[in-house]
Amino acid sequence: MFVPTESILEILLRGTIMYLGMFTLLRVFRRQAGAIGIADLLVIVVIADAAQNGMAGESRSITEAMILVTVIVLWDWVFDWLGFRSTFAAKVLEPEPLILIKNGRVLKENLDKEMITKDELMSQLRQQGFENLFDVKFCMLESNGKFSIIRAEAESNQGNKNDDQLVR
C-alpha cells in the first residue's frame, strides 16, 4: 500500500511536466475576465481528467496527455473567439440575461424557468444590500449564474411596503 509502483523520479517528472504544460496553456489561452463560469468549470474538469492520464503512469504517455489537454484548451479558445467575433455564435454559446424582478415585481414565470424560489431570490437581494423588492428596478440572472441588481429610484419606493403583494 505504501510502496510506490512507479519510480519516484518519474512521478516527480510527470507531475512537473504536466503542471507546467497546463499552466502555460491556460496562461496563454484563458482570459481572466470575471468569475469562473460554467464553461470554465467544464474545461477545468475535462482537463483534470485528461491530465490524469499523463500523471498516473501505467504506460500512458505524457505526450498523449498534453496533446489531449491542448485540444481541449484550443476548442475552448475557439468557442470564446467565435462568441467574441460573431453575434450569432455569442447568442448560441451564451444565454441572454433573464429578468427576475422588474420595477419591484417578481416575474414568477422566469423564477420557475430557472427553478429559483422566492426565498433564494430574496437571499440574493439581501446579500447585495437590498431590504425589499421595492428597492429593485431590475434583477437579472446573468449567463455566468450571478445576479445583477439595479436600484430603483428613491421616490418611487414610498407607496408600497408589502412585498408579498408584488409576486405574480
| Sheet with 98-102: strands ordered across | 105-106, 98-102, 136-141, 147-151
**Residue 32 domain boundaries:** 8-93
N-term to C-term CA, the chain: 61
Query: If pLDDT is split at 50, 70 and 90, which confidence band does 42 have?
Result: confident
Are 98 and 106 a contacting pair, CB within 8 Å? no
Question: Is residue 139's pLDDT more than 50?
Answer: yes
Which comes out higher in pLDDT, residue 6 or 20?
A: 20
Query: If pLDDT is split at 50, 70 and 90, which confidence band does 30 have?
Result: low
What is the average pLDDT score of the chain?
A: 79
> Does residue 88 sit in the same domain as residue 104?
no
Percentage above 90 pLDDT, the chain: 26
Q: Which of 56, 75, 93 is the last residue of a domain?
A: 93
Q: How far apart are CA 166 and CA 35, in angstroms?
A: 32
For residue 160 the three cell numbers come to: 408600497
Q: Which of 58, 75, 93 is the last residue of a domain?
A: 93
Which comes out higher in pLDDT, residue 154 or 120?
A: 120
Q: How far apart are CA 32 and CA 35, in angstroms?
A: 8
CATH assignment of the domain containing 114 = 3.30.240.20
Query: In this structure, is residue 2 part of a structural domain?
Result: no
Query: In this structure, is residue 1 part of a structural domain?
Result: no
- Total domain count, the chain: 2
For residue 119 the three cell numbers come to: 426565498
Percentage above 70 pLDDT, the chain: 78
Query: In this structure, is residue 71 part of a structural domain?
Result: yes
- pLDDT, residue 166, reads 47
> Does residue 108 sit in the same domain as residue 37?
no
Lowest mean pLDDT among 36-40, 69-73, 79-83: 36-40
> Does residue 36 sit in the same domain as residue 102?
no
Query: In this structure, is residue 60 part of a structural domain?
Result: yes
The closest of 141, 113, 110 to 125, measured between CA atoms, is 141
Query: In this structure, is residue 3 part of a structural domain?
Result: no
Query: In this structure, is residue 125 part of a structural domain?
Result: yes
Question: Is residue 157's pLDDT more than 60?
Answer: no
> Does residue 85 sit in the same domain as residue 144?
no
Question: Is residue 58's pLDDT more than 90?
Answer: no
The closest of 7, 75, 76, 18 to 48, measured between CA atoms, is 18
For the segment 116-123, the average pLDDT, to the nearest whole number, is: 92
> Does residue 77 sit in the same domain as residue 15?
yes
Q: Which of 76, 93, 110 is the last residue of a domain?
A: 93
